[in-house]
Amino acid sequence: MREYRTEQIRNIGIIAHSGAGKTSLIEAMLYNGGTIERMGKVDDGNTVADYAPDEIARKTTINCSVCIGEWNGHKLNIIDTPGAEDFYGDLASVLRVVDAIVVVVDATTGVEGGTEKVWEIADKYELPRLIFINKMDKENASFENALASVEEILDARTAVMQLPIGKEDTFTGVVDLVQMGAFTEPDGNKPTPQSEIPSELEAQAEETREQLIEVAAESDDELIEKFFEGELTDEEVSAGLRTGISDNQFVPVICGSALKNIGVQQLMDTLIRCFPSPVDAKPIQSADGETTLEASPDAPTAALVFKTMADPFTGRLTYFRVYSGTVKADTQILNSTKGENERMGKTSFANGKDLISTPQVGAGDIGVTIKLGITQTGDTICNADASIQLPGIDLPKPVISFAIRPMSEGDDEKLSTTLARMVEEDPVFEVRRDSETSQLIVSGLGELHITVVRERMKDKFSLETEIELPKIPYRETIRSRVNGIQGRYKRQSGGRGQFGDVWINLAPLERNSGFEFVNNIKGGSIPRNFIPAVEKGIREAMGRGLIAGFPVVDLQIDLYDGKHHPVDSSDLAFQIAGSYAFQEAASQANPVLLEPVMDVSVSIPEQFVGDIIGALNSKRGQVMGVEQAGKRQVIQAIVPLAEMLRYSIDLKSITSARGSFTMEFLRYDIVPDELAQKIIEASKTEAEE
């Protein structure tokens, strides 16, 4: 591969709803640039971008994939992204390191739920974007309807740069309104020659071009003055388009058919002509805001790791974007995020699963290396003598959790090791041990996310697992005050005996107050050295629970009297006496079951508000309010955790994947009596088993 200067590079992310044709579009771009000799197909499992076994089997993108397209003296780093929200961790990583995005819209369906969601995520990064209306050759394809859905649902100010020639099975090419020429299906991957605009489209092309020129002129004060005084030159129109696109003043719209390779060369031309190189892109600052990085190979080196992949044979693959300087092979580097040095091994460019060896990766480019020891997704690598830390990656939070265990006994250690490898590869996938339920909990962005991780554990590391919904970490507490309760322990079996006697008062505390132990012993009725044993016995009894085996919280113990024996009293005796006193007092104090309650925020299109509120009410939720956020509605609610375990699945079903939610722990509340009895019975049955 030839060397490219920074200004000759374009870093482009491809995003869309699943099935819109992202991967097929990339395949056509690679074919046009000569990277591949023939176009593969998703259905045949032979595309460059979707190469992982699970992607081939499911016929959908699961991982982001870096591909290289060369076109007209430029290098296009094209990154495929998952369309399913279960894998939006990779989407967030890609959007962090590209300079522009292409949003693929299916001409037969228009904007779908996934398109709307990825568009919202892209909004956070303020990236220049382009709409490619794909599948213009399919039945029911409509450029006009798809364009209308973009303007209405995405609330985008569009600038039409192409018109389709024909529709459905008569779709044969596109009219480029900048060059004012027609381009039909190319002969293989040879550049398509420009031809005359069909006569039936001339009037529409002239009218739409005028609109395009006006939009381009509005991007610059000097251009708008020239526009009102007379005509703009083609160079001035292109300059206005570049400025407007880079500043996100409007979104250009073009069309084509990825499978037939119609309009794809014109897309590549547009990306080179109108979209920013790393030199022209919005400057990035260091995390502390003190340094603005220069996209120059001679500047101090700083690169961001945006993807790691675990491989049982080659080790860890680390993908990085160089923002300044040059990352060279076989050199010492600093991981400034962790403050530790590493040895950079072999460096390569990635084209799907293939690695193209290179001695260095320059500013603005994207590279990959193998077997870095400590560096993970979101870390910055830089010169060992010039520490720079870049802003990290804002990853989505998990929304669903399961308890996981190995299918085979004795694989517990292997499970822990393998899960750690999976977390390295996918930082959105989380693993934790629940100390209360003793379950190993895995969390992700959806049920499919967890399923894919488990499949990879089986395929890569020969580890089969099974999952179930996690146990709810219930609590128990009391509602009444009880005074004057005795706990007495006395044993005599020849020789030295055991004796401890305590008197306590028990009182409830406000929710989330924890446990308070008050020592009011006067006159030495219980020697000072035995007081900690009393508290220990009470705490242990609280941990065993009262009615369903869950920890007891939010109460006060007042230890006010007791007796001891100069020979037979011991720590153990007073520990047992304390536990007896607590159990007796708590049984009289109106014990109840508590459940964790979550603060839930649901973001949805307005038409789903009624359905979502109804669904939350059915889950014992309490809706606290509804707020407008752009074109979406955000519902704030308080819902028990037990009702939210599969909510990501429910929300996707109700909103056709157009909704999203977050939740955080809020407090513990009393479980309704009828439900509490079922939980208590289930707990007793489990204990007996």
Cβ contact 663:598 at 8 Å: yes
Among the residue ranges 1-5, 70-74, 239-243, 355-359, the one predicted with the least confidence is 1-5
Q: Would you state the pLDDT for residue 314?
A: 67
Among the residue ranges 57-71, 220-234, 389-403, the one predicted with the least confidence is 220-234
Q: Would you state the pLDDT for residue 663?
A: 92
Residue 373 has pLDDT above 90, yes or no: no
Work out the angle at residue 124's Cα, subtended by the Cα atoms of residues 118 and 127, and round it to the nearest 5 degrees: 80
> How many angstroms separate the Cα of 428 from the Cα of each of 84, 579, 582?
14, 43, 43
Count of all residues that appear for the chain in the document:
689
Nearest to 138 by CA among 105, 93, 162: 105
User: Does the fold of domain 595-676 match that of domain 400-468?
Assistant: yes
Q: Would you state the pLDDT for residue 313?
A: 67
Q: Would you state the pLDDT for residue 376?
A: 93
Return the beta strands (E) in 541-631 as ranges. Answer: 555-563, 591-605, 622-629
- Residue 631 pLDDT level (bands cut at 50, 70, 90): confident
Mean pLDDT of the region 539-554: 93
- Residue 357 pLDDT level (bands cut at 50, 70, 90): very high
What CATH code is assigned to 302-383?
A: 2.40.30.10
Query: Residue 516 has which token pair?
Result: 């308070």
Q: Would you state the pLDDT for residue 494?
A: 65
Q: Which conformational region is residue 683 in: left (phi greater than 0), alpha (psi within -120 to 50 degrees), or beta? A: alpha
What's the CATH fold of domain 7-193+250-274?
A: Rossmann fold (3.40.50)
What CA–CA distance (Å, rounded) separates 59 from 24? 11
Cβ contact 10:73 at 8 Å: no
Query: Residue 689 has which token pair?
Result: 């088993």
Q: Would you state the pLDDT for residue 233?
A: 83
Q: Would you state the pLDDT for residue 312?
A: 62
Instruction: Domain ranges for the chain, please list them.
Output: 7-193+250-274, 302-383, 400-468, 476-589, 595-676
- Residue 208 pLDDT level (bands cut at 50, 70, 90): very high
Measured in degrees and rounded to the nearest 5, phi and psi for residue 412 equal: -65, -45
Arithmetic mean of pLDDT over the chain: 93
Q: Would you state the pLDDT for residue 105?
A: 97
Work out the angle at residue 683's Cα, subtended by the Cα atoms of residues 682 and 685, and round it to the nearest 5 degrees: 65
Q: Which CATH architecture has domain 400-468?
A: 2-Layer Sandwich (3.30)
Mean pLDDT of the region 106-114: 93
Cβ contact 20:102 at 8 Å: no
Which value, in Å, is the radius of gyration of the alpha carbons in the chain?
32
- Residue 632 pLDDT level (bands cut at 50, 70, 90): confident
Q: Which conformational region is residue 123 in: left (phi greater than 0), alpha (psi within -120 to 50 degrees), or beta? A: alpha
Q: Which CATH architecture has domain 595-676?
A: 2-Layer Sandwich (3.30)
Query: Residue 454 has which token pair?
Result: 């488990």
Query: Residue 573 has which token pair?
Result: 């005796």
Residue 495 has pLDDT above 70, yes or no: no
Q: Would you state the pLDDT for residue 386?
A: 82
What CATH code is assigned to 476-589?
A: 3.30.230.10
Q: Would you state the pLDDT for residue 117?
A: 87
Task: Report pTM.
Answer: 0.86
Mean pLDDT of the region 106-129: 91
